[in-house]
Amino acid sequence: MIRIAPILAVLGALIALWYVAAVLMNAQLQEDRFANAGRTDYSTADLASASLNMDRPKLPAPHQIVGELWRTVALADPSSKRSLAFHAFITLRETLLGFALGSLLGAALAAAAVHFRWIDRSLMPWIVASQMIPIIALAPMIVVIFNQFDVVGIVPKAAIAAYLTFFPVTVGLVKGFRSPDPLQLDLMRTYCATRGQTFWKLRAPACAPFFFASMKVAAAAALVGSVVAEVTKSEDGGLGARLLAGSYYGQTVQIWAALFAAAFCSAALVGVIGLVDAYVGKRMGYVR
């Protein structure tokens, strides 16, 4: 109870601030609209309430976003293009496919880097360096290259999600596979353990906390990747396509709703990984 109170207080303050900001930012626009409609007999309260319920406000009020989410998620037919759930589902599918592929690839490369010195010494510096560059700039091009081979739909976007997943997973897992201390490795040697046994019985379990930490980073990155990829190829739908369509037509409420939907998806993915992490951590004893 005590832990949740400050969070609720800050959340309440944020929402209140949001309403104030919405009135301040929209008032000018609403005044112009009243003037265009020939209305002059409005009070400040009228202006405030009208500016919280405009159809294309500069900053939509929270209740408008919740309303839009309700209309497009709960009320709309989930198979139609008007449904946000439909678009969120596309994005999630791309993200999960890419995430799975990227994690497998990253784990394989990390395992290879731990066992083969030449991979570790020649390839790993590039992988670490590639974290410093804005990889996401590649997204539009990857989509186009896949198009050249007539690969369309979710695969190109999943490829970008996989690409963004791959780096944090590799870097995190290499650290994790190396985390057993020399004493433990020596013990494995006194048992006459093979490299495979050392890997599966010592390195892989020791890597669990690192694995989950990089999974969380990677899941968030994968979702960003698929959203940005959807912006560059928006005719297939997805939350990124909703963002782009909203920004073309000035539908601010739609943009914010898509943004919140993306945030929920991302938080849900990270949350699920966090739950698994907590469960596994308890069973393995690294979380108390």
- Chain centroid, CA 163 distance in Å: 14
Q: Give the residues lining the site for other proteins (CB under 8 A).
A: 3, 6-7, 9-11, 58, 118, 121-123, 125-126, 129, 131-134, 136-138, 140-141, 143-145, 148-149, 216, 219-220, 223-224, 227-228, 231-232, 239, 243-244, 246-247, 250, 252, 255-256, 258-259, 262-263, 266-267, 270
Which of 58/193 has CB closer to other proteins?
58
CB 231, min distance to other proteins, A: 6
Give whichever of 20 and 267 is closer to other proteins, judged by the CB atom. Answer: 267
Supply the minimum distance, in Å, between the C-beta of residue 285 and other proteins: 24
Which residue number, 5 or 75, has a Cβ lying nearer to other proteins?
Answer: 5
Task: Return the axis-axis angle of helices 208-232 and 139-148, rounded to nearest 10°.
Answer: 70
Q: 91 or 198: whose CB is closer to other proteins?
A: 91
Q: Considering the complex, what minimum distance in angstroms separates the CB of residue 217 from other proteins?
A: 9
Q: How far is the CB of 129 from other proteins (least distance, A)?
A: 7
Least distance between other proteins and beta carbon 259 (Å): 5
215/219 Cα distance (integer angstroms): 6
Burial readout 69-101 (b: 16 or more C-beta within 10 A, e: otherwise):
beebbeebeeeeeebbbbbbbbbbbbbbbbbeb
CB of 212 to other proteins, least distance (A): 13
202 or 269: CB nearest other proteins: 269
Instruction: Indicate the residue among 101 and 220 with the shorter CB distance to other proteins.
Output: 220
Shortest distance in whole angstroms from residue 2 CB to other proteins: 9
Min CB(266)–other proteins separation in Å: 5
* SS3 letters across the chain: CCCHHHHHHHHHHHHHHHHHHHHHHHHHHHHHHHHHCCCCCCCHHHHHHHHCCCCCCCCCCHHHHHHHHHHHHHHCCCCCCCCHHHHHHHHHHHHHHHHHHHHHHHHHHHHHHHHCHHHHHHCHHHHHHHCCCCHHHHHHHHHHHHHHCCCCCHHHHHHHHHHHHHHHHHHHHHHHHCCCCHHHHHHHHHCCCCHHHHHHHHHHHHCHHHHHHHHHHHHHHHHHHHHHHHHHCHHHCCHHHHHHHHHHHCCHHHHHHHHHHHHHHHHHHHHHHHHHHHHHHHHHCCCC
Q: Which is nearer to other proteins, 41 or 55 (CB)?
A: 55
